[in-house]
Structure 1
Amino acid sequence: MTRRAVLPALAVLRLHLACGLALLTRLPVDWLLPASYRGGADTQPPPPWPLGRSIWCWPLIGGGVGAVTGCVLVLLHRVHMPPLVAACMALAAQTLLSGALHEDGLADMADAAGGRTRERRLEIMRDSHIGSFGTSALCLAFGIRVAALAALAVQPGKVGMISCILAGVLGRAAMLVLPARLPPARTDGLARALSPLPRAPLGVALASAGALTLWLMTLWGENWTKEWATGTHPTALSLTLAPIIAACLGVIGMAWAARRLLGGYTGDVLGACVVVVECLVLATFAALAA
């Protein structure tokens, strides 16, 4: 029996959380790791990290990243920072927290679209340099999110905060759909670590993301009760479905592009999916709040 097999349930949960935080953020996670994973004088190598089993907490971590973004946005606006400046600072905080991991994936995938063959595209995605396609994709992604956050910053109540949290939750939930539906494009890296994707953690991740979405959209809609009563705002049904539809469209588009260009998914594809879904969800919230 391996050391991993004898870990108590709480230690396993902490290990899964450490895996998710180490991948999706730049927060220190050593304090969460069981002793057998921290290394030290023991010459025996630590067990492999259960990255695939940790996916149940990824939407929750995404919600936490979104909460930090929303806090910065709301607090700066309340101290009379102009909405555009507050939006830029909030997105800067999010980028620092995530280490621009997802933006790196977006840039790599955009550059790869210029390749003529699948092999050449995968080679381009390995290149650390950024080209004109990647630069354009990053500028558009940051521009869309900043504009949406600036529009949400001036809204009443909890609108800005809830929108940021839901964008984080739906973005990280969306990235899990791709490895569930596509084969890995490579035999190494993150794509191989997630294949085959464990079904039980995937179900927990999607179920928790769905429950959080419904609950937070209920809170979001409380700000618009009077508008619903007078018929000057979209119905509660459209309010709830709109961000979910936006996230689904983002996933469908990314899955189509990944299959057509690469024949499957890579870690860069998953990162790009997060950014695309966040852009669509935040833009949808900005439109609903207008």
Structure 2
Amino acid sequence: MASRCRLDLACGLALLTRLPAAWLAPLAFRTGAAPWPMARSIWCWPLVAAGVGAGSGCILALLRTAHVPALAAAGLALACQTALTGALHEDGLADMADSFGAATPERKLAIMRDSHVGSYGVIALSLSLLVRAAALAALPVHSAIMACAITACLARMAMLLLPASIPPARPDGLARMLYPIPRGSLGGAVICALAVVLGLPFAGHTGALPLWPYFAYTVAPIGIGCATAWLVALWAKRILGGFTGDVLGGCAVLVECLLLSFYAALA
């Protein structure tokens, strides 16, 4: 069991971050002799994402404490997060936005596979960075780490709802590796996400939290993440016939934008 957990964590870290993760895997997987169980590892994705979000929140809080201007601190925190994740989800958002210029599903899928970024992709990336930077700048310092960790966790959990509800649009790629999604691993991801989202608001509090702040920081963000994933799934099923890796990444960035804006509105 310990070996399987280490391998799953290695898969999650290798996919969602640029951190060296091969040392966690058993020797057979480090040498490339065996395929990595990417689909089985989804249970740890919310935990890995929460760590990434907490890291960017720490950077934001430290810079704000050092009296760095709020918007500059937000931009630097986003830059560190992007470097840590390798802009994986941002690349998906750009490819998904570029596909809006095509008329047929086949052409849309071809554009998504193209490594070049068009005007729609540039606009989508610019707007997403603008929204997230402005929202991060508006967050109170004392809640920045919690808000960033919960947002990152729910964003990756939301994108897992797509392969749980619609088929892949292509017979290959990351999307095909996740389908059919292992129900046990999906259940583990839900449990881990709920543990993060429901547990973090209590961090630093010795007594019970008032009902409204607890609802605002937990139940409402869960609803926003699920609703966004549902809408993206409807669009992907109708327009593309299913999901792709780019659609998953685009969904994650959209959820991040909405949740960070929501937390900023609570400030």
The CA deviation at 1:211 is: 2.1
Contact in 1 for aligned 2:23/2:30 (Cα 8 Å): no
What is the alpha-carbon distance in structure 1 between the residues aligned to residue 217 and residue 19 of structure 2? 34
Which of the residues 237, 247, 265 maps onto 1:269? Answer: 247
Q: What TM-score do the two structures reach when normalised by structure 1?
A: 0.87
- Counterpart in the other structure of 1:10: 2
Contact in 2 for aligned 1:108/1:130 (Cα 8 Å): yes
In structure 2, the residue corresponding to 1:178 is in which secondary structure?
coil
Q: Share of identical aligned residues, percent?
A: 54
What is the alpha-carbon distance in structure 2 between the residues aligned to residue 132 and residue 221 of structure 1? 47
What is the alpha-carbon distance in structure 2 between the residues aligned to residue 127 and residue 220 of structure 1? 47
Which of the residues 241, 255, 276 maps onto 2:233? Answer: 255
The CA deviation at 1:258 is: 1.1
- Counterpart in the other structure of 2:45: 58
Extract unaligned runs of 5+ from structure 2.
none
Structure with higher Rg: it is 1
What is the alpha-carbon distance in structure 2 between the residues aligned to residue 221 and residue 92 of structure 1? 30
Change in 2 beyond 3 A, CA 1:222/1:131: farther
Which of the residues 222, 227, 234 maps onto 1:244? Answer: 222
CA-atom RMSD in angstroms:
2.0
In structure 2, the residue corresponding to 1:181 is in which secondary structure?
coil
- Counterpart in the other structure of 1:108: 95
1:127 corresponds to 2:127: no
Contact in 1 for aligned 2:168/2:244 (Cα 8 Å): yes
Extract unaligned runs of 5+ from structure 1.
1-8, 40-44
What is the alpha-carbon distance in structure 2 between the residues aligned to residue 129 and residue 246 of structure 1? 31
In structure 2, the residue corresponding to 1:183 is in which secondary structure?
coil
1:26 corresponds to 2:10: no
Which of the residues 255, 261, 265 maps onto 1:283? Answer: 261
The CA deviation at 1:51 is: 0.5
Q: How many residues align structurally?
A: 267
Change in 2 beyond 3 A, CA 1:219/1:284: farther
The CA deviation at 1:36 is: 0.9
In structure 2, the residue corresponding to 1:47 is in which secondary structure?
coil
The CA deviation at 1:247 is: 1.1
**What per-residue deviation string (whole Å, max 9, x for no partner) do you get for residues 187-216 of structure 1?**
000011111100001001011101211112
In structure 2, the residue corresponding to 1:179 is in which secondary structure?
coil
1:35 corresponds to 2:27: yes
Change in 2 beyond 3 A, CA 1:222/1:169: farther
Amino acid at match of 1:56: W
What is the alpha-carbon distance in structure 1 between the residues aligned to residue 12 and residue 192 of structure 2? 15
**What per-residue deviation string (whole Å, max 9, x for no partner) do you get for residues 11-58 of structure 1?**
21111111111110111112112111122xxxxx61111001000000
Q: What TM-score do the two structures reach when normalised by structure 2?
A: 0.95
Contact in 2 for aligned 1:185/1:264 (Cα 8 Å): yes
